[in-house]
Amino acid sequence: MGRSWVARQGTVNLQRWLSWEGLRSAILPEICLLCDLPAGPVPNLCADCVRSLPRGPEPTGSRLVAYGYEAPVSSLIQWMKFEANLAAALSLGVLLDEAIVACYGRSALTLPDAIVPVPLHRSRLRSRGFNQAVEIARPVARRLQRPLLTRACARHRATEPQSTLDSPAERRRNVAGAFSVHRRLAGCRCVAIVDDVLTTGATARELARTLRAAGVERVITWACAGSR
């Protein structure tokens, strides 16, 4: 085993380390995404920016919207979706998780049996490279110790982005019949749908209808942001 082989291995290991450090820095920067101050307990956000975020509407037994869809929450969501900023996705997931824990900790609500992120059609998943609802749901499922069912449902029909449609009726028609259940949800009496933004709720309602038709008794919706 000559020195050249050892040198090559050292170079490969250095390259791997640099790649990992670059990935770690991209996902877990040590400064706030919003103000460049040192990040706090919520990954990639400082404590002052977290305290300033616009709170969402009062949660109900079937719906929780953590924050209002306005700046700077809207900026984090747009960076995540359109700039592939996974650091923002992690921040949003932890923020949603904190809101869920706070809500369920002060009420008699029971946590769901599983978590289902709103699926993307394969064409949009291919162009975006990731499903933002899945990335948001990961820290939630980890903290709550609930299974994350990323392949239980599918969006089998490509739909227009809901943000491009004005009326609630158009949004309902756009997603009507768009989802299907690919895997039996045995033992899942209650399921939580996770999405990034909830506006009219048409997408969540259609996915909930599909899940109930597959045997789920109760469906709740968790979203990072929405109308206040």
pLDDT value at residue 19? 53
Residue range 188-210, pLDDT digits in tens = 999 999 999 998 899 999 999 99
Residue 40 falls inside a structural domain: no
Average pLDDT over residues 147-151: 94
Average pLDDT over residues 32-37: 94
Q: Which residue has the tokens 């400064």?
A: 31
Give pTM, 2 decimals: 0.84
Asked whether the CA dihedral 225, 42, 124, 142 is positive or negative, the reply is negative
Residue 39 falls inside a structural domain: no
Residue 204 in contact with residue 198, Cβ under 8 Å?
Answer: yes
Residue 221 CA to its chain's centroid (Å): 12
Query: Domain holding 81: CATH number?
Result: 3.40.50
Residue 13 falls inside a structural domain: no
pLDDT value at residue 12? 42
If pLDDT is split at 50, 70 and 90, which confidence band does 167 have?
confident
Residue 25 in contact with residue 194, Cβ under 8 Å?
Answer: no
Give percent above pLDDT 90 in the chain: 67
Q: Which residue has the tokens 């045995």?
A: 186
Residue 45: how many CB atoms within 10 A of its CB? 27
Residue 18 falls inside a structural domain: no
Nearest to 29 by CA among 78, 79, 98: 79
Does residue 100 register a pLDDT over 80?
yes
Residue 220 falls inside a structural domain: yes
Residue 8 falls inside a structural domain: no
pLDDT value at residue 23? 56
Residue 45 falls inside a structural domain: no
Which residues lie across from 193 on neighbouring strands? 116, 221
* Domain membership of residue 126 as a residue range: 54-226
In three-state form (DSSP H/G/I as H, E/B as E, the rest C), the secondary structure along 192-223 is EEEEEEECCCHHHHHHHHHHHHCCCCEEEEEE
pLDDT value at residue 35? 94
Average pLDDT over residues 131-157: 94
Residue 78 in contact with residue 153, Cβ under 8 Å?
Answer: no
Residue 36 falls inside a structural domain: no
Number of domains in the chain: 1
Does residue 3 register a pLDDT over 90?
no
